[in-house]
Amino acid sequence: MENERYRRGIEALRRVNEEGITNLIQSMDAVAPDLARYVIEFAYGDIYTRPGLHTKQRELCIVAALTALGNREDQLRDHIQAALNVGCTRQELVETILMMAVYAGFPVAIKGMQIAREMLPHE
């Protein structure tokens, strides 16, 4: 059941991380396919596509939030990749994660940085 919200959400996801769509849908398909649809419609179709922030800014916000939560490694990997896909630099991502040490604590910042180390190009 595709609607305008779903279409906007899928388009937003395709622009930032096509592989993320597949991961999201496949991870929910056998158990709760509606949950993937809710994420696509609400998170991406309604919120992610709002005016006011550029895509790079949105991805840095998401990386910060997922780092601060500390237990969202798969989603953090997806959004670090999305951030790279939309032009965020290694330094922007490292600084975003580093800021989380101040506001969310060193353990989550360290874990976020370990994940970033796996994914970021080395200079």
pLDDT in tens, 29-42: 889 989 999 999 99
pLDDT in tens, 11-32: 999 999 888 778 888 888 889 9
Residues 66 and 111 in one domain: yes
Q: For the residues 53-79, what does the mean pLDDT come to?
A: 96
Structure confidence at residue 21 (pLDDT): 79
54 φ, ψ (degrees, to nearest 5): -80, 160
Query: Nearest to residue 25, comparing CAs of 10, 5, 4?
Result: 10
Q: For the residues 93-119, what does the mean pLDDT come to?
A: 97
Mean pLDDT of the chain: 93
User: Whole-prediction pTM value?
Assistant: 0.89
Contact 93, 116 (CB under 8 A): yes
Residues 27 and 86 in one domain: no
Domain region containing 14: 1-50
Q: Which residues, at least 6 apart from 69, have a Cβ–Cβ distance to it below 8 Å?
A: 104, 108
**Count of domains forming the chain:** 2
Residues 24 and 80 in one domain: no
Residues 69 and 117 in one domain: yes
- Number of Cβ within 10 Å of residue 13's Cβ equals 24
Amino acid letter for position 106: F
CATH of the domain at 58: 1.20.1290.10
